[in-house]
Structure 1
Amino acid sequence: MYPYRDGLTALSGSPVKAAVAGLSETDRALLDTVDHVVDLGCGNGAPAAALVPVLPTTCRWLLVEKDEGQLVAARSRLRSMTSQRVDGVCADLTRLPFERLPSGPGLILISHVLYYLPGWQDVLSWLVQKARSSGSALVVVMRSRQSASYQLRACIRTAQGGSEDGMLTAESVQSWLKSHDVPYSAVASAAAVSYDLTGIRMDDPDMVPRACDRHASLYSMLSLLCHTDPAGLDPGPAAALTNVIRRMVHRNRLDLLLDDLILVVSPSSREVPCRTLT
């Protein structure tokens, strides 16, 4: 089960929409020839669904997800939007037989997944080769080091004795692409979620639980951003999380900026200044 997926259903398609909006004219022309889409780690299908309106109506879909419940939801979502074939594979990407991917020009989407793959470099290398050899586009969506997601997760990780150095970010993937001479286009997408904390004392040690009680979605959001149950944290990590959140509160509002960086590798990709879309 993926607890971190529960808070962003409404936002999960935004990065993919931004990626499409940020494509070059040549890449946009490539979309007209896409024969299939492969969504690796598709979750509830929202990112893939964002692509349906801009792809050919004859496009086929392959959804890969290790959570069977999420996969069922994703297939149902896509099938309600297209009359074409929508296949699903319930599999852990660390053990997926990649040779099952379709051949020919397509679009490979891997959105917020590389963090969870111990051998992400090998996976990314394979995907880049697959995109190049088939004339496909590869869209990688990652959180930026500047995002609330990174700051809150880093706070929990270090408070539990870990190191920030092991946390994969979009910037890390950019560095890998550059070091392997892989041309890419970068598009930034930002979405902000705000919570009113009027009446909650910032010096209250139970500030975070009280805020979660007030806003039902905040609990899910923090679970998503921190990859853990905020109510079940030990005292040390809980205090660290509270301190970080206090620094994010301005005039009784908690604003969480969720920055995504979309890296597009395609036959016409070239490194260009990163553009931001909101």
Structure 2
Amino acid sequence: MGFSAEWLSLREPADRAARDGPLAQQAAKAAGPNPLVVDFGCGTGATWRALAPYLPTGARWRFVDNEPALLAEAGRVAGENAELVEADLGEMDALPLAGASLVTASALLDLMPEAWVADLARRLDVPFYATLNYDGRMSWAPAHDDDAAVTAAFNQHQQGDKGMGPALGPNSADRTIALFEAAGFMVLSADSTWLLGPDKAPLQRELTNGIAQAANEAGAREAASWGRHRHAIADRTTCHIGHIDILALPTGNLQESTHVLR
């Protein structure tokens, strides 16, 4: 399980625009006055770039990823307050949680199995801020007759084994909320849907290439032609890709919020 720096760079502006600002500020507040943020699947440091403006000067970060090149880039941009840990995210016992005041993950939970999230919920006694969890919703304008079939096949593919067991895929937000609530957390959530217009045509093309490939692997015979069509009209298309941001607060660290509980 891994992503290229090029893909992460291409999607980051859409991620930044979609993240819920008030929930990010709530997460930063919950991290406390002298935070150590442990970022799972840090990539090139997108969560640091999004959250750092809300954190105190000198906040420390512990970046965790299984890709050395991505870790090195995250460390380069974050500077001396960042610690780099190369680790297999699937090995929960090896994940460096000691001293954390906030644990974060972006665009990760839909790739993980339910047992992993349940184990994390049992182990954590600090806030958990997980953003950009894909929730299965896609819509396109102009529409295509095969949109629904390709989306269904893609969502099925997303629940396949990514190396650690069947992934949560589009169920990641709902199941994470339920698991953390069962572990005694208060869970806040907010919509973080991607809105990709014609100005994001390069991202749309990469996205629809990946969707078509995954849907084809899941048995959607129309996926290849759908992908070619979407690629061709990306500069005339607007699409919405559903995501949900989550902040789970342990009962000893509850903060006032205007967000509605899901």
In the superposition, the TM-score normalised over structure 1's length comes to 0.66
Q: Is the CA contact 2:121–2:183 (under 8 Å) kept in the aligned structure 1?
A: no
- Corresponding residue to 1:189 among 173, 188, 192: 192
The 5 A counterparts of 1:170-249 are: 170-195=173-198, 215-223=201-209, 226=211, 228=213, 237=220, 239-240=222-223, 242-243=225-226
Give 5+ residue unaligned stretches, structure 2: 141-146, 161-165
Q: Is the CA contact 2:36–2:61 (under 8 Å) kept in the aligned structure 1?
A: yes
- Corresponding residue to 1:261 among 244, 247, 250: 244
More helix by share: 2
The 5 A counterparts of 1:76-155 are: 76-79=76-79, 84-95=80-91, 97-98=93-94, 100-103=96-99, 106-118=101-113, 120-127=114-121, 129-130=123-124, 132=125, 136-141=126-131, 142-147=133-138, 154-155=152-153
Q: Sequence identity, in percent?
A: 17
How far off its partner does 1:63 sit? 0.5
Change (3 A) 1:259 1:13: same
Give 5+ residue unaligned stretches, structure 1: 197-214
Alpha-carbon distance between aligned partners in 2 of 1:95 and 1:62, rounded to the nearest angstrom: 17
Change (3 A) 1:262 1:36: same
How far off its partner does 1:137 sit? 1.8
Superposed CA RMSD in Å reads 4.2
Q: Is the CA contact 2:117–2:176 (under 8 Å) kept in the aligned structure 1?
A: no
Letter in 2 for 1:143: Y
Partner of 2:163: none
Give CA deviations for 1:30-82 in whole Å, capped at 9, x if unaligned.
34424211110011211221111111112111001112222222111212xxx
How far off its partner does 1:185 sit? 0.9
Partner of 1:64: 64
Change (3 A) 1:242 1:77: farther
Alpha-carbon distance between aligned partners in 2 of 1:240 and 1:176, rounded to the nearest angstrom: 34
Secondary structure at the residue paired with 1:144?
A: strand
Partner of 2:143: none
Alpha-carbon distance between aligned partners in 2 of 1:258 and 1:187, rounded to the nearest angstrom: 14
Alpha-carbon distance between aligned partners in 1 of 2:73 and 2:88, rounded to the nearest angstrom: 17
How far off its partner does 1:270 sit? 8.5
Secondary structure at the residue paired with 2:237?
A: strand
How far off its partner does 1:93 sit? 0.1
Alpha-carbon distance between aligned partners in 2 of 1:244 and 1:113, rounded to the nearest angstrom: 24
Letter in 2 for 1:22: L
Change (3 A) 1:153 1:103: farther
Partner of 2:144: none
Partner of 2:51: 51
Letter in 1 for 2:105: I
Q: Is the CA contact 1:8–1:221 (under 8 Å) kept in the aligned structure 2?
A: no
Q: Is the CA contact 1:186–1:273 (under 8 Å) kept in the aligned structure 2?
A: yes
The 5 A counterparts of 1:23-42 are: 29-42=29-42
Q: Is the CA contact 2:137–2:242 (under 8 Å) kept in the aligned structure 1?
A: yes
Change (3 A) 1:173 1:148: farther
How far off its partner does 1:2 sit? 1.4
In the superposition, the TM-score normalised over structure 2's length comes to 0.70
Alpha-carbon distance between aligned partners in 2 of 1:22 and 1:157, rounded to the nearest angstrom: 26
Q: Is the CA contact 1:35–1:60 (under 8 Å) kept in the aligned structure 2?
A: yes
Change (3 A) 1:195 1:237: farther
Partner of 1:200: none
Change (3 A) 1:270 1:221: same
